[in-house]
Amino acid sequence: MATEEFPDSFADVLGGVQRLIRRRLRAGMTEPRLRGAQVELLRLVMAHPGIRVSAAAKELYLAGNSVSTLVNQLVKAGYLHRETDPEDRRSARLTATPAAEARLREWQARRGALVREQVAKLSESERAALAAAVPALRKLAENLHEEVEGI
């Protein structure tokens, strides 16, 4: 593959793998599907309990009103608690419900099993190549994050 083709091919493959994983995971679900942005918000809230809506919007690179819409949907579904911030009555703090925590744990377990199963089908050299790529992928993600943050 020519060097100039690599970035586009790489981005296409990453996007394709992510889409296929989501499709495979959706196949066995009995509960209503959560959209990607809803899952991202739940994961963020679980990692940072009590996060403000405005901070969540900044972290997810979404408009505040978009996150407010997601919050309303997830509160209605029983996955988020929204409480008025005692320090700033105009702000809300978010926490995940036990139902959200259980759902995300199950999703992560299913995703891990699916990826382990598929990686096991690869040759030893292919698995080694993927493992060797992980540090570079983390650095790529860090660079993208820093660029968006303007660091």
- For residues 41 and 21, give the distance between their C-alpha atoms in angstroms, rounded to a whole number: 19
61's CB contacts (< 8 A; 6+ apart) are 148
Please name which of 48, 108, 47, 104 lies closest in space to residue 77, comparing C-alpha atoms: 104
> Which pLDDT tens digits describe the chain residue by residue (151 residues)?
667 788 889 889 988 998 898 888 888 777 888 888 998 999 999 999 999 999 999 989 888 899 999 999 999 999 999 998 788 888 889 999 999 999 999 888 999 999 999 999 999 999 999 999 999 999 988 888 776 655 4
